[in-house]
């Protein structure tokens, strides 16, 4: 009996820690990371578009990106924090490169490039969220994806409308 209690006493801290380490290495952790990086990229590109665009509709869309993706990022961070998952503080290298390309553009060239980038980013995000909903193992990540997906789809619809008005081919 003493031996069994000793084993339980030693195993308890490991059992408490194990879900965190499994979660941090899981495909769901990859979802958290990619979703966080995408949100950061959206906020950064949105702020840039608010500064650089001369098109009021693009600026309005960009403001919506900053607002909505900041809110989603805060929700995602709270969920990840509760699971001991550390989220990146920056967008991915590819997303940073896309932002750098945007920074050197101006006028109509900026707007068209921003719009194309937003279409692609939102299509990628929809795919990421659908994959998490279909095959994720973390119910909280799946719930986040399920609740956020309609907003991402609305963003894609809005940017497609902007693309049509601006003569941007998808």
Q: Give the pLDDT of the chain (170 residues) as one tens digit per residue.
A: 444 434 444 444 444 433 443 355 677 989 999 999 999 999 999 999 999 999 999 999 999 999 999 999 999 999 999 988 999 999 999 999 999 999 999 999 999 999 999 999 999 999 999 999 999 999 999 999 999 999 999 999 999 999 999 999 86
Residue 18 lies in a domain: no
Asked if residue 81 belongs to a domain, the reply is yes
The Cβ of residue 32 has, within 10 Å, a number of other Cβ atoms equal to 26
Domain CATH number, residue 151: 1.20.1260.10
**CB-based contacts of 161: which residues, under 8 Å, 6+ apart?**
none
pLDDT value, residue 4: 41
- Tally of structural domains, the chain: 1
User: What pLDDT score does 21 carry?
Assistant: 39
Q: Is residue 10 part of a domain?
A: no
Indicate whether 49 belongs to any domain.
yes
Asked, for residue 85, whether it belongs to a domain, the answer is yes
Q: Give the chain's count of helices (H) and strands (E).
A: 6, 0
46 near 62, Cβ under 8 Å? yes
Listed residue (78, 61, 53) closest to 119, CA to CA: 61
Give a yes or no: residue 92 inside a domain.
Answer: yes
Consecutive H or E run containing 43: helix 27-52
pLDDT at 10: 44
Phi-psi label, residue 162: left if phi above 0, alpha if psi -120 to 50, beta otherwise: alpha
Long-range contacts made by residues 11-20, C-beta under 8 angstroms, separation at least 24?
Answer: 19/83, 20/83, 20/84
**Residue-range definition of the domain harbouring residue 65:** 27-166
């Amino acid at each position: 009996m003493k031996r069994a209690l000793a084993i339980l006493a030693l195993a308890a801290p490991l059992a408490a820690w194990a879900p965190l380490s499994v979660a941090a290495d899981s495909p769901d952790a990859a979802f958290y990371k990619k979703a966080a990086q995408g949100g950061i990229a959206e906020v950064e590109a949105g702020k840039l578009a608010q500064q650089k665009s001369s098109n009021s509709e693009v600026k309005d869309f960009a403001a919506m990106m900053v607002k909505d993706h900041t809110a989603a990022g805060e929700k995602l961070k709270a969920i990840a924090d509760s699971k001991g998952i550390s989220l990146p503080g920056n967008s991915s290298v590819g997303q940073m490169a896309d932002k750098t390309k945007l920074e050197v553009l101006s006028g109509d060239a900026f707007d068209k490039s921003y719009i194309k980038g937003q279409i692609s980013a939102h299509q990628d995000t929809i795919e990421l969220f659908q994959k998490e909903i279909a095959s994720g193992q973390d119910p909280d990540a799946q719930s986040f994806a399920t609740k956020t997906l309609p907003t991402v789809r609305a963003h894609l619809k809005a940017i497609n409308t902007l693309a049509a008005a601006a003569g941007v081919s998808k």
